[in-house]
Structure 1
Amino acid sequence: MNPAARQDLTWLLDDFETNPGVVHAMVLSADGIKIQKSSSLSDQEAEVLSASASALYSLAGGSGERFGSGPVGQVLIEYQGQQGHVLLIVAAGKNARLAVLCDSTVDLGSMGYATARMVRQVGQVMGTPVRATARDGLPA
């Protein structure tokens, strides 16, 4: 993904945050690297969210594989703390994920529709190539 395309996602993620109940939104690579974040999300928070969202999506994928459930459609985590956040993670193009942190007022049906619509519209832009590894003949 070229740097200019990444910059273009900020306005899109900021606009996505205008959906009722959305607190933060970001795009991350499948291996947990921040691709782009909304303006309201600090760099430090984005690093934590990208790493944890990647790990959660990967765990869901491994469980689904083990039990023959098929690929992950979405991961949904409901937090019971004082703020009562909901975290939704969906595939967003090749090797990319969209993570959306919502408050407790979010309508999950509407949010599921909004994330699916966003991914359909811009999934190609959100994708990221697979990173080379030592196994590919490059230093890790």
Structure 2
Amino acid sequence: MIGTTHHAGELNWLLDELVSRVAQVRFAVMLSADGLAMGTSAGIGREDGEHLAAVASGFHSLAKGAGRHFDAGEVRQTMVELEHGFLFVAAAGEGTCLAVFAGADADLGLIAYEMARLVRRVGEHLHTAPRQADDLLAPRRDGHPAPGGADGLRTAPRGAVGG
């Protein structure tokens, strides 16, 4: 959960401030490590914010795996260069990340600096506890069982490839 000193509205305001302060930044999302959007800047719809949170979580997880495998330490920031923009993902507290999407003309150093500044400002107040299996298996609002069968989980046989 979000730490007691910051709520989603406060995060949204801080993310809006980042977007307005750095001209090349198109939008920003604060997310849990498992990909849930905790706060979004104005200008990104709910669906796109949730999608960006999921993508950013995946990139951050891949970078953490590379850091562990190559004994390179903790991930500070991940950057993906796209044809028409950049995606930055930075650790922002325990179980929390900051994702920023910027245009192709972005000043990469300025964005990295501003992200680090925001993380220093709020990172110690943010924490997101990992979701437990019970959270994932909770009944859906429509009363139907969770996808994947009666217990909501699909498991591959032990040793199965790709499962």
TM-score in terms of structure 1 length:
0.88
* Letter in structure 2 aligned against 1:72: V
When structure 1 is superposed on structure 2, of 94-103 and 11-20 the one drifting more is: 11-20
Residue 63 of structure 1 deviates from its aligned partner by: 1.2
Measured in 2, the distance between the counterparts of 1:4 and 1:125 equals: 7
* Distance of aligned partners of 1:61 and 1:11 in 2 relative to their CA distance in 1, 3 Å threshold: same
Between Structure 1 and Structure 2, whose CA radius of gyration is higher? 2
Counterpart of 2:147? none
Structure 1: runs of 5 or more not aligned: none
Count residues in correspondence: 134
Q: Kindly indicate whether structure 1 or structure 2 has the higher relative contact order, using CA contacts under 8 Å at least 6 residues apart.
A: 1
| Percentage of matched positions with identical amino acids | 35
CA RMSD after TM alignment: 1.8
* Distance of aligned partners of 1:132 and 1:20 in 2 relative to their CA distance in 1, 3 Å threshold: same
The answer on whether the counterparts of 1:27 and 1:126 sit within 8 Å (CA) in structure 2 is no
User: In the TM superposition, what whole-angstrom CA distance separates every residue of 1:32-67 from its partner, at most 9, and x where no partner exists?
Assistant: 011111121101101110111000110111111111
* Letter in structure 1 aligned against 2:91: A
User: In the TM superposition, what whole-angstrom CA distance separates every residue of 1:61-87 from its partner, at most 9, and x where no partner exists?
Assistant: 11111111111111000001xxx1100
Q: Of Structure 1 and Structure 2, which has the larger fraction of its residues in helix? A: 1
Structure 2: runs of 5 or more not aligned: 138-163
Counterpart of 1:96? 96
TM-score in terms of structure 2 length:
0.76
Counterpart of 1:110? 110
